[in-house]
């Protein structure tokens, strides 16, 4: 696919996310610990292979000028989009040492039992291998920074990082070239400054039945379902 064909307009991106129900309103505690009234659950749009393929091609097109040997993503959120970006990278831009005709490898890093991000499952990088780190959503960039650290410890060289959505408002600094398909400046707050908490609402951790607060297990689960659906 040519670069021009892969580029996606903001309206087209928003239509995909909204049609998949991936943009949610309520009171959420993000993985960064910040609170927000909006949450983007990329897994809901990436569950559809045609959407995932199109999003991967669009993000890959933003890095079409780079020579890349591998794509590395933090699990779980970056796993699918990392694979699709690797598949969408332009032919001739991979200089890896994989099987002939195999394309750019997509590998992932994950947390071990201690909670530390690590490279497992037989994945490896050779010294100096040029890596693109891919994530689904950036807020503080914590998972991407951890992935960069793992790549560097494995001997790879991170030359760029990409994400489907940047909700940092352009504040994210990773020390490498960064590009996102969609910028969504969604307000987020430390828990102590959260206006939703001040109004008495209880924060829900998206993708989990766990609810902050003193609600019992049954009440918390019901609250999580109700809040996430608003």
3-state secondary structure string, 113-130? CCCCEECCCCCCCCCCCE
Please give the residue that has the higher pLDDT: either 95 or 165.
165
Query: What is each CA distance from 112 to 5, 104, 109, 127, in whole angstroms?
Result: 39, 26, 10, 23
2-16, 30-44, 105-119: least confidently modelled range:
2-16
Q: Structure pTM?
A: 0.77
Percentage of the chain exceeding pLDDT 70: 83
Where do the structural domains in the chain lie, given as residue ranges?
3-229
Instruction: Retrieve residue 85's tokens.
Output: 């970006």
* Closest listed residue to residue 147, CA positions, set 74, 70, 82, 71: 74
Quickly name the fold that domain 3-229 has: Rossmann fold (3.40.50)
The per-residue pLDDT for range 124-159, each reduced to its tens digit, is 899 999 999 999 988 888 899 999 999 999 999 999
């Amino acid at each position: 696919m040519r670069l021009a064909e892969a580029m996606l307009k903001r309206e087209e991106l928003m239509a995909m996310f909204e049609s998949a129900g991936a943009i949610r309103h309520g009171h959420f505690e993000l993985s960064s610990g910040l609170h927000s009234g909006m949450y983007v659950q990329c897994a809901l749009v990436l569950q559809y292979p045609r959407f995932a393929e199109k999003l991967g091609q669009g993000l890959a097109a933003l890095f079409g000028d780079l020579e890349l040997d591998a794509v590395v993503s933090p699990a779980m959120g970056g796993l699918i989009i990392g694979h699709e970006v690797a598949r969408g990278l332009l032919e001739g831009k991979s200089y890896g040492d994989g099987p002939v005709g195999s394309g750019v490898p997509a590998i992932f890093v994950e947390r071990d039992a201690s909670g530390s991000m690590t490279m497992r499952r037989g994945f490896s990088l050779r010294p100096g291998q040029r890596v693109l780190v891919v994530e689904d959503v950036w807020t503080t960039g914590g998972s991407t920074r951890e992935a960069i650290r793992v790549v560097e410890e494995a001997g790879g060289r991170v030359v760029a990082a990409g994400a489907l959505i940047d909700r940092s408002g352009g504040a994210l600094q990773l020390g490498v070239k960064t590009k996102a398909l969609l910028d969504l400046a969604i307000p987020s707050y430390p828990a102590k400054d959260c206006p939703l908490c001040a109004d008495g609402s209880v924060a829900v951790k998206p993708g989990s039945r766990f609810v902050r607060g003193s609600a019992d297990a049954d009440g918390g689960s019901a609250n999580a379902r109700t809040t996430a659906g608003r």
